[in-house]
Amino acid sequence: MSLPDRIYPSRPEQVYLVGTCLVDSFYPDAGMDAIHLLQSCGVQVIFPQDQSCCGQPAWNSGYEDEARAVARTQLEAFAADIPVVVMMGSCAGMMHLEYPRVFAGQPEEKRALALAARTYEFSEFMVNVLNYQPMKDGKTSYQPLRVALHTSCSARRGMQVAAEHKALVESLPGVQVVEPARVTECCGFGGTFSVKQGDISAAMAADKADAMAATGADCIVSADCGCLMNIGGTLEKQGRPMATKHLATLLWESAVEAGK
């Protein structure tokens, strides 16, 4: 189930990619994987060098003017009328759902509404616009990969793309999806929440780490790197590390493998 009543365009020739600031510094390879994957679908990817952050950390902390100043930079960076694909559900939610509020009554309101309307979360775009089908007949040389899928709260409840996440992962040859207990529960990241309420956040992360470890999966896959950093970092600190992967990386690795 994607957002109610959202109408999807036909396959565009070009897309903008919002890498997000977290992917930019901590998961840049996932960003390149997304670029390669989109290119392999015949879509030209534009990665504006002038993009930075959607502005969500300040916005959720109540510092609206500071958030708006940063969001304005993104209005400039993604100015042309081209679909915008966002690598994380959290940032997609900020741009698609919150920008209309961020710029309500501001001179840029019209542009913000237009940008929000052409902004898509990564899995949402892959499924609903590109109708992405992995190569089913591709031989898999490896053992089935057991994947614990973590759909972030913003992807699940904000962008409502949990079904798209699941469909993509389940469609991959040689991948077995395992579901952790309390799958819909927040991992405790919540951006600045993890710093401002460190104890509560850590308690939530510890429970999520237990649930992930109990699946015995080979890796945790998510399209939100904040959650990956939080869950993966907790498991690592506890001395029971599990691999973490952005969904784009899983898809691209599978495509490369199938293409061999």
| Positions 30 through 59 that interact with another protein (CB under 8 A) | 31-32, 35, 44-53, 55, 57-59
Q: Does 3 bind another protein (CB under 8 A)?
A: no
Closest CB 232 distance from another protein, rounded Å: 8
Closest CB 148 distance from another protein, rounded Å: 18
Region near another protein per CB under 8 A, out of 163-171, 214-222, 228-236, 251-259: 228-236
Q: Which is nearer to another protein, 80 or 135 (CB)?
A: 80
Q: Which is nearer to another protein, 126 or 209 (CB)?
A: 209
Length of the chain: 260
Q: How far, in Å, are 46, 133, 156, 231, 254 from residue 163 at the CA level? A: 27, 15, 8, 21, 20
Q: Does 205 bind another protein (CB under 8 A)?
A: yes
Q: Which is nearer to another protein, 72 or 125 (CB)?
A: 72
Q: Which of residues 64-103 bind another protein (CB under 8 A)?
A: 64-67, 69-70, 72-73, 77, 80, 82
Q: How far apart are CA 223 and CA 27, in angstroms?
A: 11
Q: Which of residues 158-187 bind another protein (CB under 8 A)?
A: 158, 184-186
Candidates 3, 8, 12, 26; binder of another protein (CB under 8 A) is 26
Q: How far apart are CA 89 and CA 37, in angstroms?
A: 18
Q: Which is nearer to another protein, 137 or 199 (CB)?
A: 199
Q: How far apart are CA 126 and CA 78, in angstroms?
A: 19
Which residue in 253, 234, 231, 256 sits closest to 244, CA to CA?
231
**Do 205 and 188 form a contact (C-beta atoms < 8 A)?**
yes
Q: How far apart are CA 77 and CA 149, in angstroms?
A: 32
